[in-house]
A and B are shown apart, each in its own frame.
Chain A
Amino acid sequence: MAKVLVVTSGKGGVGKTTSTAALGAALAQSGQSVVVVDFDVGLRNLDLVMGAERRVVFDLINVVQGVAKLPQALIRDKRIETLWLLPASQTRDKDALTEEGVGRVIADLRAKFDWVICDSPAGIERGATLAMRFADAAVIVTNPEVSSVRDSDRMIGLLDSKTERAEKGQRIEKHILITRYDAARAARGEMLSIEDVLEILSTPLLGIIPESEEVLRASNLGSPVTLNNVASAPARAYMAAARRLKGEDVPMTIPNDKKGLFDKLFGRRAA
């Protein structure tokens, strides 16, 4: 049965789009059929992170308004054939989305895919509330930093009150995904620890994505990090998170990029 997942955070720049692309690709790499849907109308970026920016013809707004049919707007990934993208519009604004229209599109996507992953815009306005509206589960992307944790708490409140499931009295599955985590700084007491964040938000953990150069490298190249360098630390962390989403019991670890003596001595290397 299809599962609708919203990737949300409240705060901008914490890694929603990166995480949507990486989790979507990881699920698709494991054989599931996946569509990633960009809800950031007016500021779309999922197409760019996925490397499909030159293939966008129709978008979510066109489908919601009936200008285009769903299959016309869906873009198939060139690397994994079970991975699809439904882009947002770059020229319209978020008011072009209606609840009824979004509900129809999500219902159509449910019939076609195993996973529908909605990339929420930042903030708590229409785009963000519509992205979560029909979700069965939510991934709340959080940086170990005060403003991000506070915004995550706010999003948890909205998920528990404004989603269709919440209004029907059903439970919405919530997961915290901690990104940009620096284990060494946390150990020195310079960064909130995983335990701190989980205790404050009292929501279960989906995964810990370590701070890594690989994330920027992958987005530079227009490839989800799980595809661009499967062996990298963030890719392994996203792969493990995707398996947990599927209900597998995967031990929680914080992968790190192994550095040889040469890297340690000379630091950076060219992309």
Chain B
Amino acid sequence: MSMFNLFRRQSSAPIARERLQILLAHERSVRGQSDLLAVLREEILAVIEKHFPIERENVQIKMDRGDAVSILEIDVEIPNSAGLLRSA
């Protein structure tokens, strides 16, 4: 360490700036995603409900973001009492 550094504290603003940039890039992407998921969830529920009654909590919608592709996963639990599978 040179004498110069002894008298000069490392500046903290560039660190603050970098931490914020990384954090906000993440938070902005999550924000957009959760909105999109909420919209998708409502629309998918509406489509399913047109055909048979479902419990809303039995529908899981997830988005896994990857670098090349993302996966939208929709899990719908249908009670056998709905009569859907028997008629097939």
Contact = CB atoms under 8 A, between A and B. Distances in A.
Interface of A is mostly: helix
Interface string A186-204: 1011111100100010000
A40 interface: no
Nearest to B10: A189
A110 interface: no
B50 interface: no
B17 interface: yes
A188 B11 contact: yes
Nearest to A145: B16
Interface in A193-251: 193, 196, 200
Contact of B13 (A153, A154, A157, A191): A191
Contacts of B20: 146, 149-150, 192, 200
A161 interface: yes
Contacts, number: 38
A189 B12 contact: yes
B55 interface: no
B17 A157 contact: no
Contacts of B11: 188-190
Given A186-B13, A196-B13, A200-B20, 8 more contacts: A145-B16, A146-B16, A149-B20, A150-B20, A161-B35, A190-B11, A190-B13, A196-B17
B1 interface: no
B51 interface: no
30 contacts: A145-B16, A146-B16, A146-B19, A146-B20, A149-B20, A150-B20, A150-B23, A150-B24, A150-B27, A153-B27, A153-B28, A154-B27, A157-B28, A157-B31, A161-B35, A186-B13, A188-B11, A189-B11, A189-B12, A189-B13, A190-B11, A191-B13, A192-B20, A196-B13, A196-B16, A196-B17, A200-B17, A200-B20, A200-B21, A200-B24
